[in-house]
Amino acid sequence: MTEKWFYGRVSSIEQQEDRGALKKQLERGKNAGCSRFYWDIQSRSTEVREGLQQLIDDLKVSAGTVTELVVTRIDRIGSSSRLFYSLLEVLKEKGIKLVALDQAIDTESLGGELTIDILLAAAKFEIKMLSSRVSAERKLRMVQRKSHRLAPFGWKVENDQYKKDETWCVSLLEAKRSFRAWELAKFIFEVFKECGSVRKTCDTLNKMFGTPGKVEARGNKENRKHLSKHLSKHLINVENIDDVNFVSNNNSTYKRYPWASLQWSPAGLKNFLVNPVHAGGTPFNVTTKSPSGKQLKHFDKWDCNWDTHEGIITREEHENVKRIIRANANNKWAAQTGNTANPFANLLKCSKCGGALTRMSSRRDREGKYNAYYQCTYYSLGRCDVKQMISSRSIDNQVADILIKEATRLAGMIDLGEEKRSEPTEVKQLRETLAGLEKLPVNPFVEKAKDGIRDQIGSILSLHETVTKRSLLVREELIQMFRDFDYWDSRTPDDMKRILNRLVRRIIVNGRQVLCIEFL
């Protein structure tokens, strides 16, 4: 029996929730006779996509019954030539036809491959132009002292200016007091002043507004249980696509007020408290680029235009809030002595919800050895049901065991002689396409496509070289650990952190058990 599989993608959750764009794509795939559906809610420029990667992996092990892979348009797959050609290579190997419902493209012909290359080059050019326009607009708004498009809690944006949000927000029956949104924002600063720490303020507010326990952020348990088999990145034999809760698949994304409860997390509350908008300032350049994407800078490194609007606290109060938070951060591990570096920072992930595991407490044993305890960040917010903590000592032992086993496997596979290198398949295909373009009459569009292909070849070769060097370092480190069983146990926390950052993408933990390690 032959099958058709479908892949759909939208760039943001808002596209699905506001217009049902992803649901419409899957409905079209269902009408086209598809029996299995894969999807992502991510930008087309994102290189790492779980849904697409799952599709590629499943195609590699398919039993030969899949005859077509259906998409609405080629750009639903993305603008990355590396990602696209890795999929195309698998399709060719398995004899599967790629069908775009809105585009008549024959990927098996030379003209079809040329069309795809031109579309990818145009998509990449469009992304760069859009990024350039957004960056230019952001700089212009900064010079003109205008507000951002989005406002923090307690504020709204009118005519590019921050205004107090006068809408009624919540009433406290016990205190017989009602708050407008901006009044509640100011009240939060009063509670923080009394509590003196972000975590204590967070607990006080959640208890005060009735949100300290588990909150079903994704619907009731029965609905989630009914849909649990559909919460993977691929949907198999979906009878009714209306039953699928697309947003449930993204555990790191949650709605905020006024679409959700007034539930605070320590990290969210800290970012709220240090926001200069409350003191009459407009922050800029608050993020920085990193290998894993954009990351929020420390609040002391933010740029800010002051006196752009009337605040709800003074500049002096704002600076005092930041002083308290700095002191809390400095005192967090003040009782500890010696080296207490966290070797697992940003690496531990919960297998249930995908959230990060953070250090909740720590102590030293009778021998003076430091031991920390990690728990899923989302448990205290009711977004994860994994209550168990795992100690750093347990993580050390399990990680060392996995590393040694992995080293054993790699040591048996690796030829320690000089590694033979060859060009990646996608580079060969791009060179063939470029050769075909060279034979066409010269015109601006073809020249732009040729430049785009040359850029793609350069980036793929650079990436291949980087990956090759990185893989050699990983293998060398693992072989060393394999030869010396006590290698990991003898490392200092700083050494462990350095090694893990070089070798490991993330460590998946389920309660008190380390399930697996994903290597770079």
Q: Minimum mean pLDDT among 18-27, 202-211, 284-293: which range? A: 284-293
405-453 confidence digits (pLDDT tens):
776 665 555 444 444 455 667 777 778 777 777 777 777 777 777 787 8
CB 380 within 8 A of CB 355: no
Report for 243-252, 260-269, 471-480: range of highest mean pLDDT = 260-269
- Please tell me whether residue 308 adopts helix, strand or coil conformation: coil
Chain-wide mean pLDDT for the chain? 77
What is the C-alpha separation between 515 and 402, in angstroms, rounded?
Answer: 9
pLDDT score at 232: 46
Q: What angle do CA 404, 344, 365 make, to 5 degrees?
A: 90
- Strands, E, within 66-184: which ranges? 66-71, 97-100, 155-158, 161-164, 168-172, 177-180
Instruction: Give 311's pLDDT tier (boundaries 50, 70, 90).
Output: very high
User: Which percentage of the chain shows pLDDT scores above 70?
Assistant: 72
User: Which amino acid belongs to residue 164?
Assistant: K
Top pLDDT among 67 and 495 is at: 67
Helices and strands of the chain, counted as H and E runs: 14, 19
Instruction: Give 249's pLDDT tier (boundaries 50, 70, 90).
Output: very low
Res. 293: pLDDT tops 60: no
Res. 210: pLDDT tops 80: no
The count of other CB atoms within 10 Å of the CB of residue 445 is 10
Average pLDDT value for residue range 484-498: 72
Instruction: Give 212's pLDDT tier (boundaries 50, 70, 90).
Output: low
Report for 30-34, 188-192, 392-396, 453-457: range of highest mean pLDDT = 188-192
Top pLDDT among 312 and 468 is at: 312
User: Which percentage of the chain shows pLDDT scores above 90?
Assistant: 15
Q: Would you say the pTM of this structure is higher than 0.75?
A: no
180: left (phi over 0), alpha (psi -120 to 50) or beta: beta
Q: Minimum mean pLDDT among 329-343, 344-358, 464-478: which range? A: 329-343
344-371 confidence digits (pLDDT tens):
888 899 888 888 888 887 776 666 677 8
pLDDT score at 282: 93
- Please tell me whether residue 140 adopts helix, strand or coil conformation: helix
DSSP string, 221-276: HHHHHHHGGG-SSEEES-S-GGG--GGGG-TT----TTSS-----HHHHHHHHT-G
Say whether the peptide bond before residue 258 is cis (omega within 30 degrees of 0). yes
Helices 392-413 + 444-483 axis angle, to 10 = 110
Average pLDDT value for residue range 107-113: 69
Res. 274: pLDDT tops 80: yes
Res. 472: pLDDT tops 50: yes
Burial class for 38, CB neighbours closer than 10 Å (0-12, 13-18, 19+): buried
Mind listing the domains of the chain with CATH numbers? 3-118 (3.40.50.1390), 155-217+254-331 (3.90.1750), 348-519 (no CATH)
Inter-CA distances, 429 with 55, 82, 380, 456, Å: 22, 11, 51, 11
